[in-house]
Chains A and B, each alone.
Chain A
Amino acid sequence: EAGVAQSPRYKIIEKRQSVAFWCNPISGHATLYWYQQILGQGPKLLIQFQNNGVVDDSQLPKDRFSAERLKGVDSTLKIQPAKLEDSAVYLCASSQRTLLMNTEAFFGQGTRLTVV
């Protein structure tokens, strides 16, 4: 079974530039998450999709971050314009969804973003 694929693995940009990350979840997984992990901290949920609908985006800085999941499969996360404090690893995860709950979340390797 193929895992969660993310690209690029690394990205260095200057502040005020824009950047986009891509995620391909495990086939058949209805739930997709984007997490931000700052060095030395645990992952923080940015946005959660159920198929192509948003379940939770309460911690997404909507003035600069946007995400979409077209057709309920792949997803992109965009930052525009980037700030220095956006330097972090951006993790994508996916899970199945039963009638009662989400099952185990599988993570990709992440995209390490450095804003200079």
Chain B
Amino acid sequence: QKEVEQDPGPLSVPEGAIVSLNCTYSNSAFQYFMWYRQYSRKGPELLMYTYSSGNKEDGRFTAQVDKSSKYISLFIRDSQPSDSATYLCAMSDQGAQKLVFGQGTRLTINP
């Protein structure tokens, strides 16, 4: 069993839709939860960073962490064609000695 599971998609939605991306994990030691966005032929860039459980909002993006279910989500409101990218969840334990990534979900927003 992989430490982090993420549906690879691909996911295609119309512009303006609400997008929900999800990851599950098995390691209960994970405390830090991140979402990275990766455009084609580019390196990943950090989008959201959350510690422990709860919600965090940044503009059109909302990250949720449910540690009891070992489940994290990223919501994108009013999605734009420029949001088309691969979204990677990542997580690490206390002390952040190791950053573990999910498989990535390829998202396309259609104009």
List residues of A whose CB falls within 8 A of some B CB: 4, 33, 35, 40-45, 48, 55-56, 91, 93, 100-102, 104-110, 112
Whether B44 and A56, one on each chain, are in contact in the complex, defined by CB atoms closer than 8 angstroms, is: no
Smallest Cβ distance from A5 to chain B, in angstroms?
11
Which B14-59 residues have C-beta < 8 A from chain A?
32, 34, 41-46, 49
Question: How far apart sit A40 and B44, CA to CA, in the bound complex (Å)?
Answer: 14
Whether B101 and A101, one on each chain, are in contact in the complex, defined by CB atoms closer than 8 angstroms, is: no
Whether B42 and A55, one on each chain, are in contact in the complex, defined by CB atoms closer than 8 angstroms, is: no
List residues of B whose CB falls within 8 A of some A CB: 4, 6, 8, 32, 34, 41-46, 49, 88, 92, 94-104
Number of A-B contacts (CB under 8 A): 57
Evaluate whether A43 and B44 lie within 8 angstroms (CB atoms) in the complex, with A101-B32, A102-B92, A104-B49 already known.
yes
Chain A residues with Cβ below 8 Å from B102 are 42
Whether A101 and B95, one on each chain, are in contact in the complex, defined by CB atoms closer than 8 angstroms, is: yes
- Which chain A residue has the least Cβ–Cβ distance from B42? A109
Whether B96 and A102, one on each chain, are in contact in the complex, defined by CB atoms closer than 8 angstroms, is: yes
Whether B6 and A42, one on each chain, are in contact in the complex, defined by CB atoms closer than 8 angstroms, is: yes
Whether A45 and B46, one on each chain, are in contact in the complex, defined by CB atoms closer than 8 angstroms, is: no
